[in-house]
Amino acid sequence: MHPSILFRWRDATGGCHTEPAPHLSGHRSGRREARRAGQPHKLHQGSLVQGVGTLGDGLFSSDGELWKRQRRLVQPAFQRKHHPMMAEIIADTTRSMLERWEANASRGQAIDARGEIILLTLEILLRTMFSGDLIGYEQELREAVIEYERHMDLVSAVNSVKLPAWFPNPGRRRFQGAVRTLERFIFRVVDERRRMQTDNGDLVSLLLWARDEETGESMNDRQIRDELMTVLQAGHDTVSDAIAWTWYLMAKHPDVRQRVEREVDSTLGGQPPRFEDLPALAYTNRVILESIRVYPPWVFARTPVEDDVIGGYHIPAKSLVVISPYVTHRLPEIWGNPEIFDPDRFLPERSEGRPRFAYYPFSAGPRQCVGAGVAMLEAQMIVFMAAQKYRLTAPPGFSPGLRPRISLTADCTLSLTPISRRSCAVAGADA
């Protein structure tokens, strides 16, 4: 659903309306979602994920006691202690992309910013999931994931249209083939690791050897498959769009871009960022937070299992409740001048008194995205490294519209031109 429609509904009814579906915005909606998420008898996942049978019973699509059990098993794989290893993979993979940009920079040729970041984050995702088992399968898996996501993007665009299984769909066979390719690879890797008692330290191993602290149980092969398919679905397009929008906003705001360059130069001294460097890049971190405020990747949906009253509105059981960070993140009563791109609004002194759930790009409460920390790590590393080498510029007057799908994307190609910062320094250019 296009954000402009959500704003019209919000302006007409306040923070809650019920037609054509209940929709919540404002910090109280985030607080209510967080409270309800901890009560499995109150709130289930929304129908935006119903019918996505390929996700099985992964965290994104499960509910109740099963969800609680899976959360306990999956969450340790995304803990901060694993971030330094992930940062090394991100840095190594990003370096290859930036080297590829040298040809574009020398010719003054634009890149498709989202296309570039989609390929980069997919490579990072596959390496963090499967490590050495990728050898010989990289291209096949890339093609399968891209086909899988293309189909899911289409499903999100026509979600309200329930087509019968027999309805002709030229893409369905390709999609089913992509799912079989991914499943075949996942089951083979899991089976080999289990038989050989192998621990590669990647996501497969972390899930394979995870034990529930309450019961001592582990995941079977099907449950591991469901969680890996969920990571592929939830952990790729979203972070890619967050980074692409950050690059676009930096290109549109030279003052912000200059501060990022100065901070990156003074903090890193020309060296690649390490995990321990990230907190020192405080301004650039605020730029990323502000970019995600302006263009949050997700809209959330929940289904109450019993009647409820929210903001004075009756919410029937089994209805689809849409919770919109995009609208909440642009409410003037919370943010003040929300249309202005202002990273310093995330300074500690300016954040005091802001409602806890005024900002929830990765959901909130118990059902907050389990990979939110990894997503931020990836965005930080890639934005830092790109800013060290290149200045990305946008065509004059370029202002893309929005295209809401699985995540919030631009409605056109994000064409940005990389300019070598080395050549800028020689020319003495700073604008």
Interatomic CA distance for residues 257 and 250, integer angstroms = 5
pLDDT(102) > 80: yes
Residue 353: left (phi > 0), alpha (psi -120 to 50), or beta? Answer: left
Q: How confident is the model at residue 341 (pLDDT cuts 50, 70, 90)?
A: very high
Helix, strand and coil content of the chain, in percent to the nearest 5, comes to 60, 10, 30
Between 328 and 319, where is the model more confident? 328
Mapped onto helix, strand or coil, the DSSP state of residue 315 is strand
pLDDT(387) > 60: yes
Between 243 and 11, where is the model more confident? 243
Q: How confident is the model at residue 162 (pLDDT cuts 50, 70, 90)?
A: low
Give whole-number Cα distances, 322 to 238, 299, 302, in Å. 18, 7, 7
Q: How confident is the model at residue 157 (pLDDT cuts 50, 70, 90)?
A: low
pLDDT value for 320? 80
pLDDT value for 173? 85
pLDDT value for 344? 98
- Residue 273 DSSP one-character state: P
- Contact status, residue 323 vs residue 30, Cβ threshold 8 Å: yes
Average pLDDT over residues 358-384: 94
Interatomic CA distance for residues 30 and 126, integer angstroms = 32
pLDDT value for 283? 98
What percent of the chain is modeled with pLDDT above 90?
Answer: 64
Between 98 and 55, where is the model more confident? 98
Compute the mean pLDDT over every residue in the chain, rounded to the nearest whole number.
Answer: 86
pLDDT value for 221? 97
Secondary structure (DSSP) of 348-397: HHHHTT--GGG--BTB-GGGS-TTHHHHHHHHHHHHHHHHHHEEEE--TT
Q: How many residues does the chain have?
A: 431
List, in sequence order, every residue forming a beta bridge with 215; answer none if it has no partner: none
pLDDT tens sequence across 222-273: 999 999 999 988 888 889 999 999 999 999 999 999 999 999 999 999 999 9
Comparing CA positions, the residue from 134, 392, 426 lying closest to residue 248 is 392
Average pLDDT over residues 182-197: 96
For the ranges 8-12, 107-111, 199-203, 253-257, the lowest mean pLDDT is seen at 8-12
Sheet holding 23-24, edge to edge: 16-17, 23-24, 321-323, 300-304, 43-45
pLDDT value for 365? 85
* Rounded to 5°, angle at Cα 129 from 123 and 134: 65
Average pLDDT over residues 106-116: 97
Comparing CA positions, the residue from 101, 387, 117 lying closest to residue 263 is 387
For the ranges 21-35, 113-127, 133-147, 386-400, the lowest mean pLDDT is seen at 21-35
For the ranges 36-45, 183-192, 345-354, 400-409, the lowest mean pLDDT is seen at 36-45
Q: State the angle between helix axes of 372-389 and 254-268 in degrees (0 to 180), rounded to the nearest 10.
A: 90
Average pLDDT over residues 322-334: 90
Q: What are phi and psi of 393, to 5 degrees?
A: -120, 150
Strand 415-420 versus strand 321-323 pairing type: unpaired
List, in sequence order, every residue forming a beta bridge with 409; answer none if it has no partner: 403
Between 13 and 215, where is the model more confident? 215
Interatomic CA distance for residues 268 and 8, integer angstroms = 45
What percent of the chain is modeled with pLDDT above 70?
Answer: 82
pLDDT tens sequence across 64-90: 899 999 999 999 999 999 999 999 999
- Residue 340 DSSP one-character state: S
Q: Which residues contact 2 (CB under 8 A, 6 or more apart)?
A: 402, 404
The fold for domain 38-298+361-426 equals Cytochrome p450 (1.10.630)
Domain locations in the chain?
A: 38-298+361-426
- Contact status, residue 374 vs residue 380, Cβ threshold 8 Å: no
pLDDT tens sequence across 17-73: 454 445 555 565 555 554 554 454 455 555 445 445 688 889 988 888 999 999 999
Average pLDDT over residues 324-338: 93
How crowded is the C-beta side of 148, counted as CA atoms within 13 Å?
26
Interatomic CA distance for residues 109 and 415, integer angstroms = 9
pLDDT value for 352? 94
For residue 74, give both structure tokens.
């999956």
pLDDT value for 339? 95
Q: Environment class of residue 235 by beta-carbon count within 10 Å: exposed (0-12), middle (13-18) or buried (19+)?
A: buried
Q: What are phi and psi of 408, to 5 degrees?
A: -85, 110
Interatomic CA distance for residues 261 and 272, integer angstroms = 14
